[in-house]
């Protein structure tokens, strides 16, 4: 008998107890009745687990990357080694990383968090370093003229001006973590991947669609949150741009009036 037919019949038998909807028998891509009946039981807990994995790993990655950035800012010789080491960690395939950690940390959330955090450090650290390097000379000279120490300059001038690059790094790291965290169930970390990797509905199209929509939606929500945070932290920049725009419009209006 054809293997595909056997798999289809097995799938139908597994899902028969959930609903008698013909969509399930046909392995449809969006079986609304099945989703309505099973969403709370199958997807709420994995979604919360996924949020936990992403949130904690990004926070840990940010704290470690920030510490490395502060340490290497005045000791520039540390930047290449930091980028090299974090780059090596980032290039390890995610599945291999999980399995390499299993003999050391065992199956569970801790193993998943260690791997996900390691992936975040490279992205966030590089963006922090780039942001600090791109701070204009003018504000730094003004800070020195006001008698600021190197520490005061870093926290009151350089980091605030580097916020756009830092937030950009957080956005990239978070979106990529949402995707990689779907494999965390291989290490016993749970998350949305549990409904695909170890779930009984691995060949059920609706199940795959629901998991995909939840993961993409989560990534979009995180991205919007970071954009709002960046806008909040850089209101001074927006205000400055608005004043410049108003000044240019005023100058243009005065030039037209003189020409007339």
Q: How confident is the model at residue 60 (pLDDT cuts 50, 70, 90)?
A: very high
Alpha-carbon separation of residue 166 from 54, 227, 229 (angstroms): 18, 11, 11
Average the pLDDT over 37-62 and give the result: 90
Contact 18, 37 (CB under 8 A): yes
Contact partners, residue 136, CB within 8 Å, separation at least 6: 161
pTM reported for the whole predicted model = 0.78
Q: What is the DSSP letter of 190?
A: -
Is the Cα torsion angle 100, 106, 108, 111 positive or negative in sign?
A: negative
Average the pLDDT over 23-47 and give the result: 78
54 C-beta neighbours (distance < 10 Å), count: 27
Average the pLDDT over 74-87 and give the result: 90
The per-residue pLDDT of the chain, averaged, comes to 80
Between these two residues, 243 and 214, which has the higher pLDDT value? 214
pLDDT score of 27: 66
Q: Among the listed ranges 49-53, 147-151, 190-194, 248-252, which one has the minimum average pLDDT value? A: 248-252
pLDDT score of 259: 54
Q: How confident is the model at residue 55 (pLDDT cuts 50, 70, 90)?
A: very high
pLDDT score of 218: 92
The string of pLDDT tens digits covering residues 126-161 is: 999 999 888 888 887 788 888 888 888 888 888 888
**CA angle (178, 168, 95) in 5-degree steps:** 30
Nearest to 50 by CA among 39, 60, 58: 58
pLDDT higher than threshold 60 for residue 260? no
Alpha-carbon separation of residue 156 from 63, 108, 142, 230 (angstroms): 18, 40, 12, 17
Q: How confident is the model at residue 26 (pLDDT cuts 50, 70, 90)?
A: low
Helix (H, G, I), strand (E, B) or coil at 24: helix
Contact partners, residue 107, CB within 8 Å, separation at least 6: 187, 188
48 C-beta neighbours (distance < 10 Å), count: 12
pLDDT higher than threshold 50 for residue 1? no
- CA separation for the pair 161, 134 (Å, rounded): 9
Between these two residues, 10 and 139, which has the higher pLDDT value? 139
- DSSP for 238-258? HHHHHHHHHHHHHHHHHHHHH
pLDDT score of 6: 47
Q: How many CA atoms lie within 13 A of 33 on its CB side?
A: 13
pLDDT higher than threshold 90 for residue 249? no
Nearest to 177 by CA among 231, 226, 218: 218
Q: Among the listed ranges 28-37, 38-47, 125-134, 165-174, which one has the minimum average pLDDT value? A: 28-37
Average the pLDDT over 88-112 and give the result: 89
pLDDT score of 65: 94
Compute the radius of gyration of the chain from its Cα atoms: 25
pLDDT score of 201: 65
Average the pLDDT over 177-205 and give the result: 81
Contact 211, 195 (CB under 8 A): yes
């Amino acid at each position: 008998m054809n293997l595909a037919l056997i798999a289809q019949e097995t799938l139908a038998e597994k899902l028969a107890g959930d609903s008698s909807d013909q969509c399930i028998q046909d392995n449809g891509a969006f079986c609304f009745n099945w989703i309505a009946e099973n969403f709370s039981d199958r997807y709420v807990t994995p979604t919360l687990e996924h949020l936990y994995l992403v949130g904690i790993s990004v926070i840990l990655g940010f704290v470690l990357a920030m510490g490395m950035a502060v340490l290497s800012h005045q000791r520039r010789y540390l930047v290449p080694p930091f980028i090299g080491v974090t780059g090596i960690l980032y290039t390890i395939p995610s599945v291999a990383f999980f399995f390499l950690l299993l003999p050391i940390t065992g199956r569970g959330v801790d193993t998943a968090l260690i791997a996900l955090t390691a992936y975040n450090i490279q992205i966030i650290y590089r963006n922090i370093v780039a942001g600090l390097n791109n701070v204009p000379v003018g504000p730094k000279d003004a800070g020195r003229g006001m008698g600021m120490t190197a520490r005061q300059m870093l926290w009151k001038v350089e980091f605030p001006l580097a916020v756009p690059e830092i937030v950009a790094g957080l956005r990239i790291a978070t979106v990529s973590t949402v995707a990689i965290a779907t494999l965390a169930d291989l290490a016993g970390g749970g998350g949305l991947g549990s409904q695909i990797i170890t779930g009984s509905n691995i060949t059920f199209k609706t199940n795959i669609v629901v998991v995909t929509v939840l993961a993409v939606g989560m990534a979009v929500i995180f991205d919007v949150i970071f954009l709002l945070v960046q806008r909040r932290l850089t209101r001074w920049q927006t205000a400055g741009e608005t004043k410049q725009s108003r000044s240019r419009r005023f100058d243009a209006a005065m030039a037209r009036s003189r020409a007339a």
